[in-house]
Structure 1
Amino acid sequence: MSTVQTHWPSTVFDGAEAIADAILYEGYLLYPYRRSSAKNRVRWQFGVLVPPAWGAAHGLNDSSVAGSAESSWQQTECLMEAQDSAIVRIRLRFLHLQRKMTELRTTDGGYRPVDRIDVGGRTEFSFDEAVPREFDVEAPVAELRHGRRFHVSMPGGEDVEALVDDRGEPLGRVVRRRWPLSASVAVSAVASPAPFRLLRLGMRVENTDRTTPADCPRDEALRCCLLASHTLATVSRGRFLSLLDPPEWAAQAARECRNVHTFPVLAGAPGTSDLVLSSPIILYDHPRIAPESPADLHDATEIDEILSLRTLTLSDAEKREARATDPRAAAILDRVDAMPPEVLERLHGAIRSLEPIPRSVDSVTEPERPWRESGTEAGDAAETERVLVAGTLLARGSRVRLRPRRRGTDAHDMFLDGRTGRVEQVLLDIDGSRFLAVTVDDDPGAELHQWYGRLRHFRPEEVEPLAGEVAAQ
């Protein structure tokens, strides 16, 4: 097993680290950023690689797709065009749990653990923080044909910060403790059947810790877990193929790629193909942070404007608690408090492009939509009367069978495929494309969804008219 680690300039992964950082800290600490908040009491929901014995004892080592499932391993497979002399560089990124403990000095000169310490206008809580970690490996494609395994070892450690009162007398201390981590990264590049030279790049990350008891509680097991684990990969003199929209000649090879607990997408600027991000959170190709977003709020899939406004409404007592919870929470408060009005105004929204709306009733082209389920707001889309699908005109009340796109990344697609539903609206988007707002049969919340307009949206080519619908004349 190789243990060599190579560090490269940050420019190697330019264009991807901003979105990768959002993955790293997604859900790290949620609004209102206080320890007492219920949603901050159960943490670390994405990309958690647990010690193998502990995972087996808790039935976690399954083979689910990307998502919040915990397991001792995650696997990425993607397609690559490259010669044997090309160099593959891989960066494993994750968070290393750091337990912050507050301790009060005793009369005999020792220390005892306490839940909080107040000193000199400052408050510190006991809380779990995390330290970002990176592990870099590289190898030529020729070596990867035989497979390479790299050992990942992160040492434990302890940092102590003394706390003194106004007279300079020792009052207590803050102890930040980390436990050793052990993992491995197995990398391979094997030929994939295709009419052109094509390789399947495999990356399997495993937690190899053997020190965690199988019967310990989750809070203890987290000390030796890789948190928010994900990988970046780049290739010199080569390119990656999209698994979401592969060329026709590589479609079968794309279907044979097996991705478990993570999924790879093309990263970097649109039009580039030499960089892949494999994430436990489902993404599209070339994901990016909105340019209007001033900084990470640890709720990367939420709306910055709402979070910023809500943060501004926190009381002084709530802000003190948030600052005492975690330094990153304190940084968020400082950023929001100092946000100029023009920055906050910019968060209100942005129109990326404006084009005339054509009126063709058989238009079926629509850009990728980030969520299947969403409300239809005024100004977002205009209702039209009907749309032509497979020779049949569909309108409000039409019955359809759902056939979501096979190459999409919406996790709901696998559950909706083959279900039937009723068309509630035929909508015209601002770019001239039509889509159908549908309620799904046997959905116990269908009437409620109809009432407040929360419907599921499909492109015309993603539905089939059911028998009995009227064919176009």
Structure 2
Amino acid sequence: MNRYDAVQDLADALLFEGYVLYPYRASDGKNRVRWQFGVLMPPDYSLLDPTERSWSQTECLLDGDKALIRVRLRFLQAQSREVLDADRVLVTSLETEDATYRPWDEAVVRTVDLATNVYRFPRQVTFSLPGGTEVEAVGTAGFLRRTRLPITGTVTLTVHDLPGPYTVSRIRVRVENTTPDGSSERVGALRQALIAHHVIVAADGARFISQLDPPEWARTFAGESENVGLYPVLAGDLLLSSPIILYDHPSIAPESQGDLYDATEIDEILSLRTMTLTEEEKREVRGTDQRAAELLDRVDTMPPEFLDRLHGTIRYLRKVTEPPPADQPWWDPGNDSTVSPETDTVTIGNVAVGNGTRVRLRPGIRRADAQDMFLTGLLGTVVAVLTDVDGETHLAVALDGEEGEVQRSHGRYLYFGPDELEPVE
């Protein structure tokens, strides 16, 4: 089994995000402005348009020494597809029995690998993709002519040992498009760009440290990492650095039946919309791109039970070990024996604060209600310590005096985070 196979499906989802958007036709306006994620343009074009970068950099932390580090760069190379009639004359469309072909930019998956021992740095790999032209016959109706332009680039790996008692190093992977003389127009420049590029890093004999949730001793090191155009997250024992920021250990939803390339939408909605396309529209989808044609066939033949699975899935934040009694709703605190609002406490400073603790109110700046400023400095008593479904702690407080008596009689309190209260001796 290839070391990178564990994240192959996820990496492919990143690679083809936005590849072709619903309604999956080459003639649709939204499909004329493509490829927004992870694009590295030729450097000449980046000089003309500074918003488009020609290089990216990702940094991560590695705990351990004497590791074998492997880096894999993946990206799409665009190729223009022209439509020719039976006499090999350029035309705007080509009709066959089941498809309508129009000019379109396809893409080819490219991979660049780099492997090295940690003691040999820096290490650089230069890659070159030659241009070329291929012609495919479409029955007897005509031809599709595909043209690719040459691309050159580099992948550079460096490792720096960090100071301190820990055997921790900072890995830097820099990817650069070095293609000379790129087009001055974005559509043309994209044909010599590294599209939707991402990096996968493996390390044998060491482990990666999370950038999102590093251990306390590594927080400063993680905060000093510089990531440009890519951001690294843990993916099992690998590191995945992508142009779309993810959480650690991301995965494809098991309900998904395949890539829909337009992940800003919901699978169910896209599937239902695709089913409503007319036969003429489906003809153009089949002729737009082979991946779009496979998507259409998959949706058209999807069993009803598969479609039902897309309708909605609840993944609980907490595992429920025992079902609640039939006469009690799931949200009743009495169903969760792990919490007790009346007896639980939370430490503020060096004080255990819970039911009966007197506090001074210090509403935080994150509150948007101007009324909260009038609560600053008031005294009250904590009534309960509560935890919401996201695991955040809140304290119910009744004010001192008559207002607090009204709050107690109605069971309606003011709620604050632990950082908004100051225990009073």
What is the TM-score of this pair, normalised by structure 2?
A: 0.78
* Cα 1:340/1:238, change in 2 over 3 Å: same
Instruction: Give the secondary-structure state (helix, strand or coil) at the position aligned to 1:142.
Output: coil
Shift of 1:38: 2.4
2:189 alignment partner in structure 1: 221
1:240 alignment partner in structure 2: 208
**What per-residue deviation string (whole Å, max 9, x for no partner) do you get for residues 180-217 of structure 1?**
1101001001012343111000000000001314xx21
Q: Is the 8 A contact 1:47 1:280 kept in 2?
A: yes
* CA distance in structure 2 between the partners assigned to 1:101 and 1:471 by the alignment: 73
1:73 alignment partner in structure 2: 55
Shift of 1:428: 7.6
2:99 alignment partner in structure 1: 122
* CA distance in structure 1 between the partners assigned to 2:101 and 2:424 by the alignment: 70
1:331 alignment partner in structure 2: 294
What is the one-letter code of the residue matched to 2:48? A
Size of the aligned set, in residue pairs, is: 365
Shift of 1:352: 2.6
What is the one-letter code of the residue matched to 1:158? T
Q: Is the 8 A contact 2:73 2:200 kept in 1?
A: yes
* Cα 1:154/1:472, change in 2 over 3 Å: farther
1:445 alignment partner in structure 2: none
2:130 alignment partner in structure 1: 155
* CA distance in structure 1 between the partners assigned to 2:287 and 2:307 by the alignment: 26
Instruction: Give the secondary-structure state (helix, strand or coil) at the position aligned to 1:15.
Output: helix
What is the one-letter code of the residue matched to 1:237? G
Aligned ranges 1:205-354 → 2 under 5 Å: 205-213=175-183, 216-268=184-236, 274-353=237-316
* Cα 1:92/1:104, change in 2 over 3 Å: same
1:23 alignment partner in structure 2: 14
- Of 422, 431, 434, 2:369 maps to 422
* Cα 1:300/1:164, change in 2 over 3 Å: closer
* Cα 1:163/1:322, change in 2 over 3 Å: closer
What is the one-letter code of the residue matched to 2:54? S
Q: Judge which range, 46-55 or 305-314, deviates more.
A: 305-314
* Cα 1:159/1:432, change in 2 over 3 Å: same
Shift of 1:162: 1.8
- Of 29, 34, 39, 1:48 maps to 39
- Of 77, 82, 102, 1:96 maps to 77
Aligned ranges 1:129-140 → 2 under 5 Å: 129-140=106-117
* CA distance in structure 1 between the partners assigned to 2:247 and 2:103 by the alignment: 38
* Cα 1:163/1:350, change in 2 over 3 Å: closer
Instruction: Give the secondary-structure state (helix, strand or coil) at the position aligned to 1:113.
Output: coil
Q: Is the 8 A contact 2:271 2:299 kept in 1?
A: yes
What is the one-letter code of the residue matched to 2:130? P
- Of 365, 370, 388, 1:401 maps to 365
- Percent of aligned pairs sharing the same letter: 46
Shift of 1:237: 0.8
1:190 alignment partner in structure 2: 160
* CA distance in structure 2 between the partners assigned to 1:98 and 1:341 by the alignment: 37
* Cα 1:303/1:161, change in 2 over 3 Å: same
Structure with higher Rg: it is: 2
* CA distance in structure 1 between the partners assigned to 2:340 and 2:150 by the alignment: 62
Runs of 5+ unmatched residues, structure 1: 1-8, 61-69, 166-170, 269-273, 366-389, 403-419, 437-458
* Cα 1:251/1:121, change in 2 over 3 Å: closer
Instruction: Give the secondary-structure state (helix, strand or coil) at the position aligned to 2:147.
Output: strand
* Cα 1:99/1:197, change in 2 over 3 Å: same
Q: Is the 8 A contact 1:364 1:434 kept in 2?
A: no
What is the one-letter code of the residue matched to 1:254? A
**What per-residue deviation string (whole Å, max 9, x for no partner) do you get for residues 70-93 of structure 1?**
310000000002323x21011000
Matched, 1:12 2:3: yes
Shift of 1:157: 2.3
Q: Judge which range, 29-38 or 258-267, deviates more.
A: 29-38
Instruction: Give the secondary-structure state (helix, strand or coil) at the position aligned to 2:14.
Output: helix
* Cα 1:224/1:361, change in 2 over 3 Å: farther
Shift of 1:360: 5.5
1:409 alignment partner in structure 2: none
* Cα 1:332/1:434, change in 2 over 3 Å: farther
Runs of 5+ unmatched residues, structure 2: 321-329, 334-338, 347-357, 372-385, 396-414
Aligned ranges 1:354-373 → 2 under 5 Å: 355=320, 357=331, 358=333
Instruction: Give the secondary-structure state (helix, strand or coil) at the position aligned to 2:80.
Output: strand
1:454 alignment partner in structure 2: none
* CA distance in structure 1 between the partners assigned to 2:271 and 2:360 by the alignment: 47
Shift of 1:45: 0.4
* CA distance in structure 2 between the partners assigned to 1:56 and 1:247 by the alignment: 40
* Cα 1:431/1:99, change in 2 over 3 Å: same
* Cα 1:308/1:120, change in 2 over 3 Å: closer
Q: Is the 8 A contact 2:202 2:239 kept in 1?
A: yes
* Cα 1:472/1:47, change in 2 over 3 Å: farther
What is the one-letter code of the residue matched to 1:337? D
2:408 alignment partner in structure 1: none
